Amino acid sequence: QVQLVESGGGLVQAGGSLKLSCAASGIIFSLHYMGWYRQAPGMQRELVATITSSGTTTYADSVKGRFTISRANAKNTIYLEMNSLKPEDTAVYYCRSIGPIAAWGQGTQVTVSS
């Protein structure tokens, strides 16, 4: 059974930083294409960043230069380092295993105050 458990969310002032973690189990983590998504109130869930099994990354335009996705295969964990946070980054952030086996985490709330 695949499990993805996010942590690291919280309340931060605009301009601040947070680092999210997602611990995976039930998959061969090193082979998996992973990502972070977010969903703000009343909005559709959107892609934030992805990282392939070999470490190639992609980012949404809205977070380029501010967020960094990374992975530690030895720890079965991906991270999302978020800097220069803005109120519009407020959302529930979800970890996703994109493939070969797809799964979602339960989400972690990030709130950025102005």
pLDDT of residue 90: 98
Of 19, 20, 18, 16, the C-alpha closest to 4 is 20
Longest dimension (CA), the chain: 40
d(CA 62, CA 107): 20
Stretches in the chain below the pLDDT threshold 50: none
Which structure tokens are listed for 40?
């703000």
> What phi and psi, each to the nearest 5 degrees, are found at residue 89?
-85, -5
pLDDT of 3 reads 96
The string of pLDDT tens digits covering residues 93-114 is: 999 999 899 999 999 999 999 9
